[in-house]
Each structure stands twice: as C-alpha cells, then as structure tokens.
A = this chain, B = another copy of it.
C-alpha cells in the first residue's frame, strides 16, 4: 500500500553504489568464459585471518559467565564497561598518548560511529576528501548536510590540505592511514589541519581505523598532535587491527573540553547513545578488552604483520615497474596509478582478462580516484604472491 507519510527526501541524494555488484558481475562473466582460470581477488576489504587465541579465550569465558546466574550480565553501560574503556585508554597510553577512559565511548564499530555522530550536529559545511570511504559522504547527504569534497591527487600524495580554504565552523573528515589510498599524514601534515580547525573553530572527525598498520614515524592518533584535544574527535575500531569485522567493536573519543554552542560535545553524544543505542554485547567487550591488552595485541599484530608482508609484495612489484602508488607502508591498501593512462575500469578489465586478478577501480571512491586502482593485502600470502607475479608481468 502507498502510505501518506513523508519519507526522508535526502535519501535520494545518495546514489546507489553499483561498485561491488558491478565487480561481481564482471568477475562472474570472466569465470564463466574461462572456467580453468584461477582468479585471485585482491579487492577484499575484509580481514581473513582468525581472532587471536587471547581474544577467543576471553570470549568463551564470557559466554560461560552469561550461562550462569551468578555471573550473568544484563544491560551493559551504554558507553561501554569500565574494563573496556580502561583497556582502550591503556592501549593509547602504551603509545604515549593520553586519552582518559571517561572520554572513550565504546560502540559496535567505526562505521556506526561515523554514521551516527551526524545526529548531534546542526547544519554545518562538511569537508570530505576525495577519494574517500563512502560513509562520511553518504551519512551527511542523508541528513541533508552541505558537503564539499576536497580534491586530492598524486601531487599531494592523495592527502588533503587546508590550503586555500576560507570560512569557518566546518566539520572535516580525515582518515589516516587512509581508505582507499593508504596514504598517511606526516605530523606536519596533520598539524596543518589541527591548526586550521583551531583557527576556524572547526571540528575534525579523525578516523584512525588503520592505526595498527603504521610502521613509519607518522601519527597513529590525532591526539599525538598538539591542540587536537581542543578540536578533534577520533573514531577507531578493532576491525582491522584485531580482525573484528565480524565481531564488531569500535570507539569514539570525545575530549570533554570540546564545546559548541555552549554545550560540551560529549554530552550530546552521551544523549544520542543513551537514547538510540544500548551498548555492545558483554561477550564482545571481553574479547575487545583481550585484543587491547598486551598479549592479545601482540597476537593480533602477528596477523597484521602477515597482511603487511602481502602489502610489501605488491609495493615491491610496483616499485620495480616504476608505477606510482600510495599506501602499503602504513596500510593494508595499495593505491596505484593505472598504467598507460587507462581509466580505472579499463585497468580493472585488463587486469581481470589478462592476469585473472581482481582489484577495485578507484573511480568507485570518488571523482579523484579515476585513473587509480586499489589492491588490498588481506588475501593469503600464496595467492598474493601469485597475483603479484602476474601483475608485474602485465605492467
């Protein structure tokens, strides 16, 4: 039946993404045309290695607690159990970053926080890098916000800069190491954004979901930069660092000193979460705690090291062929320039047809992604090595 209620018109501003369905379609056609071809997928944006033993042990124990009256737990605190908030704070502390537990709000993931935080803001100018993780843009479009894309390119290593921006009171989304480009801000690069925010009364929403992949001397948290506690919210996740994509735990840091319109921002987030969220499962919180404590982190970092080797393999081939790329060093993503001036979909087809390797066309992440291509390090070492050999031959 056609009802007489009004729906949210802004939803029509979000164009349906056919990126991954189109990829699936072309891969299927390729597989059918040549059933003997061993197609290798380097387009996966999801982890493939299992949870660390310390994590599953903690979760199994928690499940058993939930099965006994004496140790059963009902509603969890909306912002996370203290043991988890402390573990997250301790994790930052081990990198010399001071984030008090009370400013940490646990959640079911960075994507959810990125999407839900839009609720607490009014009508601001929203600055979003291009190319970008689509959630920043789509969640703001769906809320009717005025979004402005910040073009990035090879010249700036696909990192946005505040140069030439005028106006004030912006909300700026930054992701470093970035998705899809894998590019990481230097301290100076990130400092220029913190200074911009301080100067213009803007808020930075900093997505640090890939912090575990940092190997160079680049920031893994925005709070390594002086002044960030006055103007930046950080959203992080265990998805990529501890394989939690299917287990769901992230968090948001809102320094209590940040205010807007006379109201501390964290009060709005607490209100939002207390009204529309009911905490994350106790079992997951125990797993997350274990993933952040030294033993679990060490075990999880073995998986990260495995992915890193894959990234290094891909990067090595590109270096040998003189192909421009960002990422790989501090990221599971390798963002390469398509050879011979091909568009990203043309290169997709070429790579699939000639090498039976699947990647992700950069155009799927924004206009500035055209002519570039994303490969990921989340496959098996064997398959990645084989794929890299084929790629190198093709380039």
Contacts and interface: CB of A to CB of B under 8 A. Distances in A.
Interface string A277-310: 1111111100000000000000000000000000
Given A6-B261, A201-B4, A281-B281, A51 B74 contact: no
Nearest to A249: B281
Contacts of A246: 66, 72-76, 279, 281-282
Interface in A356-382: none
B282 A202 contact: no
B7 A265 contact: yes
Given A8-B268, A60-B63, A60-B64, 15 more contacts: A1-B258, A2-B262, A3-B201, A3-B260, A4-B169, A6-B122, A7-B260, A8-B120, A46-B75, A50-B66, A66-B246, A109-B278, A116-B276, A248-B279, A248-B281
A26 interface: no
A385 interface: no
A110 to B, nearest CB: 9
Closest 4 CB pairs of A and B: A115-B276, A4-B201, A6-B122, A4-B169
B283 A59 contact: yes
A165 to B, nearest CB: 14
Interface stretch (A134-142, A156-164, A214-222, A335-343): A134-142
B60 A48 contact: no
Interface string A165-184: 00011110000000000000
A258 B2 CA distance: 6
A243 interface: yes
A259 to B, nearest CB: 5
A77 to B, nearest CB: 10
Interface in A13-27: 14, 16
A272 B60 contact: no
A130 interface: no
Contacts of A202: 3-5
A153 B68 CA distance: 40
13 contacts: A1-B230, A5-B171, A7-B261, A55-B67, A56-B63, A56-B66, A73-B246, A75-B245, A109-B278, A112-B276, A247-B282, A283-B283, A284-B284
Interface of A: 1-9, 11, 14, 16, 46-51, 53, 55-56, 59-60, 63-64, 66-69, 72-76, 108-109, 111-112, 114-116, 119-124, 134-135, 138-139, 142, 168-171, 197-198, 200-203, 230-231, 243, 245-248, 257-263, 265, 268, 271-272, 275-284
Given A200-B4, A260-B2, A59 B63 contact: yes
Tell me how many chains of this kind the complex includes: 2
A2 B259 contact: yes
A134 B274 CA distance: 11
A46 to B, nearest CB: 4
A169 B3 contact: yes
A6 B124 contact: yes
Contact of A260 (B6, B67, B124, B243): B6
Contacts of A4: 168-169, 200-202, 260
A347 B340 CA distance: 81
A142 B121 CA distance: 11
A72 B59 contact: no
B8 A138 contact: no
B75 A49 contact: no
Contacts of A3: 169, 197, 201-203, 231, 258-260, 265
Contacts of A59: 63, 66, 283
Contacts of A76: 246
A235 to B, nearest CB: 13
